[in-house]
């Protein structure tokens, strides 16, 4: 597996170039950034040179399409999606991810139908560029009632939805925080095939009842109570060899400088990977 970083939890890192340099210095092999923005500034060759010099890849981009509102908002994002996909392709990134809020103000059944239709279009477009679409189920209990109606939040429901979307290039974004908050175990991961996983997030959670974990109150990997050793070992066992990116959502910006935070991340990854025997 390739260790990766997102910007979440690292404070103000500055440019993508700086993030890449800092991440590489601490042994990370991937960053999740806005590929199209960077390609826009440096050109494809510039980005590829930068990545090569640092032995780094882009782990995943975010899906730049609003699929949770109306059809007009959805359509407004499609030109941008083709451009994001083209940029990702040219720099060798093959994952594009979005998250599923576990509740919604829309009537859930028609919203599911509309979302299925929209994400199929996104998957088709991404597929033309050789890119996978990763869907992240979101576990924290408080979000299940944050909006009017329950939507979906379990891995099982998400896999079934992926089946309903019906495109070959759609998979899970598996986040350790959501794995934890939906009560999953290593056995649940072992039931997956590696190709069902489009991307992985690594985070930790404070000790305490799972029901009380807050989505934006996460800890650095290895600093909390999630069984990250079990999580990573199971991923390794099924043959997942892709990127595992830290994504520490925090209630407020951290006070330490990015260098320190990334060193802390490295220490957490080291601990968790070692505990997993990796």
Kindly list the residues in this chain that would bind a copy of itself in the complex (CB under 8 A).
71, 74-75, 78-79, 81-83, 86, 89, 107-114, 116-118, 120-121, 124-125, 127-129, 149-152, 157, 160-161, 163-164, 166-168, 170, 193-195, 239, 241
- Which of 48/116 has CB closer to a copy of itself? 116
Shortest CB 165 distance to a copy of itself, Å: 8
For the CB of residue 75, give the shortest distance to a copy of itself in the complex, in Å. Answer: 6
CB of 172 to a copy of itself, least distance (A): 13
Instruction: Specify the pairing of strand 61-62 against strand 103-104.
Output: unpaired
Shortest distance (Å) from residue 89 CB to a copy of itself:
8
- Do residues 274 and 37 make contact, with C-beta atoms less than 8 angstroms apart? no
What are the CA-CA distances from residue 84 to residues 8, 91, 92, 199 (Å)?
20, 11, 12, 17
Closer residue to a copy of itself, CB minimum distance, 110 or 209? 110
Nearer to a copy of itself, 181 or 203 (CB): 181
**Range 215-239 burial, b when 16+ CB lie within 10 A, else e:** beebbbbbbbebbbbbbbbbbbeee
Of the candidates 182, 179, 161, the residue with the CA atom closest to the CA atom of residue 170: 161
Counts for the chain of helices (H) and strands (E), in that order = 10, 11
The distance of closest approach from Cβ of residue 164 to a copy of itself in the complex, given in angstroms and rounded to an integer, is 4
The enclosing H or E element of 63 equals none
Distance of CA 120 to the CA centre of its chain: 19
- Between 31 and 35, whose beta carbon lies closer to a copy of itself? 35
CA 16 to chain CA mean position, Å: 17
Give whichever of 192 and 262 is closer to a copy of itself, judged by the CB atom. 192
CA end-to-end span of the chain: 9
11 or 127: whose CB is closer to a copy of itself?
127
Least gap, CB of 118 to a copy of itself (angstroms):
8
């Amino acid at each position: 597996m390739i260790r990766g970083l997102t910007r979440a939890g690292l404070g103000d890192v500055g440019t993508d170039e700086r993030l890449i340099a800092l991440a590489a210095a601490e042994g990370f092999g991937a960053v999740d950034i806005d590929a199209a923005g960077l390609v826009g500034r440096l050109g494809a060759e510039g980005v590829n040179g930068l990545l090569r010099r640092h032995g780094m890849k882009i782990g995943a981009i975010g899906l730049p399409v609003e699929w949770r509102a109306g059809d007009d908002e959805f359509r407004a994002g499609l030109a941008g999606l083709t451009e994001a996909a083209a940029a990702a392709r040219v720099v060798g990134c093959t994952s594009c991810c979005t998250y599923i809020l576990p509740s919604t103000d829309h009537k859930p059944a028609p919203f599911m139908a509309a979302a299925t239709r929209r994400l199929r279009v996104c998957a088709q477009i991404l597929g033309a560029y050789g890119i996978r679409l990763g869907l992240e189920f979101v576990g924290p209990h408080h979000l299940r009632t944050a909006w009017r109606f329950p939507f979906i939040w379990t891995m099982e429901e998400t896999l079934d939805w992926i089946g309903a979307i019906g495109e070959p290039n759609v998979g899970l974004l598996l986040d350790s925080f959501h794995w934890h908050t939906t009560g999953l175990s290593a056995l649940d991961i072992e039931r997956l095939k590696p190709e069902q996983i489009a991307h992985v997030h690594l985070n930790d959670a404070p000790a305490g009842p799972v029901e009380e974990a807050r989505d934006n109150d996460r800890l650095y990997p290895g600093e909390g109570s999630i069984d990250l050793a079990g999580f990573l070992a199971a991923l390794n066992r099924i043959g997942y060899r892709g990127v595992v990116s830290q994504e520490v959502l925090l209630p407020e910006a951290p006070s330490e400088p990015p260098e320190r935070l990334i060193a802390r991340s490295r220490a957490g990854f080291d601990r968790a990977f070692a505990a997993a025997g990796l």
